[in-house]
Amino acid sequence: MSNRSSDILFQLIKSLQKSEKRHFKLYIKRSSAKEDLKIVQLFDALDKLQDYDERLLLKKLATIQKPQLANLKTHLYKQLLSSLRLLKTTENTDLQLSESLDHARLLYNKGLKLQALKILEKAKDLAKQNQKFNFLAQVISLEKKIETLHITRSSLEKTELLTEEALVISGHIDRVTRLSNLALLLYRWYVKYGHARNEQDEKSIKEFFKNNIPEDINAINGFYEKLYLYQSYCWYAFIRQDFLMYYRYSQKWIDLFDEDETMISVETGHYIKGMHALLNAHFDLRNFAKFEITLQQFKKFSETPEAKQHDNFRVHTSIYINSASINQHLMTGTFKQGLSLVPELEKNLEEYSLFVDAHRILVFNYKIASLYFGNGDYKKAIDYLNEIINNHADLRYDLQCYSRLLHLLCHYELGNYDIIESLSKSVFRFMAKMKNLTVVEEEIFRFFKNTFHVSPRELKPELENFLHKIKHLEKNRFETRSFAYLDIISWVESKVHNKPMSKIIHDKYLKSKKRNYISNFTA
């Protein structure tokens, strides 16, 4: 897998489906130029390789010299994209609109202005139907150019309408741009730092949000403006660990698509991400029943033509469903059943290696390690945690910190007391350096420091004291992050009550389920 990402042409070929490969062969052989036949040979050779190896590739292509290879690869890459565009145009609104604009420009350049305007009118209708205002701006820009430079016999009313449309769309695009920028920058903040760690982070993110949210908030209207507004509030709430606000805006995100179901096929990627956010919100709030309903809804969606339309959608739907399925086992304490998902998940990650980013791999490694830890298989948990600890990617400092903390707990459970003291100091220094220490973590380190040499008989009072110190912090917003990453309370309770951690968490789940049933029954 290590070489797969080293060559963009190889990546593209490996991402093609059988129908796309067949279409390319038909497309390229129509020209049957000598150079084109060479790129077919290059295509076949690359398609048969398991990993990209240029020396092996040149051996297979006796008629191609090394100096020729770079140019042939560039030519093949362009022809593959042209073939894909031709094949996929009817499936994608953006490609249809781009094609219409291209055709209109060609006709205009040939002097066929009225034909160009006719195509632009149809493109405008399609853009409006699908709320593609960026394309609408380009269509109107070309319309205005033609009307300004030439006598087209257009009515004065139409000319005035064109200028009014241009102003309305300009304002809309400006708001969408500012809101989408805000959502993207908040997402970047989270990927780099994780949740707000303290009052300073809270103040910083509040200021950033206030300075970047559009002032004309009351003018926000239409699908895309609302979509990016809800996304921005989702990230803002998630970073601040205001999980109730996070739930409300992720639900609003999905409600947008429920109000206009045609937009699911237009913006499938945003719908998939919204379902992922809603599932995460239910997980964070432990909305067990709603989590199950949303997960079943998402699984049902994964079988639709929209979800299977593109590799991107198919892959990310699968990844998010796998992530939610693991979360379900983590919050119900069914760790052993959750571990049965791991082989298939790892197989999928290998299959989707071209599409999965480093951040997603880190998250999965942590979730799998948490399953093994909850199931009492501490050595396997350490293997997955080492994948995170030894990864030097400059992202998710919070995940790096909690991986080290969970790693420390694994060695404690394994009875590796000879390294606990030095390991504890090392983890403490790392978390302090990353400014990732909260009251909960400080209490964890204090517990280890006080119990290095405590006998088993004296340990229980220390555990009870430790539990008393952290239990009341469960509702503290700046401490909820610690409990979200590491259910330290359930771990300590398992020690105090001499029960498996899985039993402690599952009993809490059953009690919550019973409470919800009684509440619904009496409502």
Q: What is the 3-state secondary structure (H, E, C) of 184-247?
A: HHHHHHHHHHCCCCCHHHHHHHHHHHHHHCCCCHHHCCCHHHHHHHHHHHHHHHHHCCCHHHHH
Helices (H), 30-62: 34-48, 54-60
Residue 156 has what pLDDT?
A: 60
Element (H, E) at 471: helix 456-471
So what's the pLDDT on residue 2? 40
Low-confidence ranges of the chain (pLDDT < 70): 1-6, 31-36, 150-157, 392-395, 477-478, 481, 516-523
Query: What is the pLDDT at residue 154?
Result: 58
pLDDT at 46 (0 to 100): 93
**Has this prediction a pTM greater than 0.85?**
no
What is the C-alpha separation between 469 and 395, in angstroms, rounded?
31
Q: How many angstroms separate the Cα of 148 from the Cα of each of 111, 122, 152?
A: 15, 20, 9
Distance separating alpha carbons of residues 416 and 67, to the nearest angstrom = 58
CA 27, 32, 34: angle at the middle one, nearest 5?
A: 130
pLDDT at residue 521, as a whole number: 46
pLDDT in tens, 237-272: 999 989 999 999 999 999 999 999 999 999 999 999
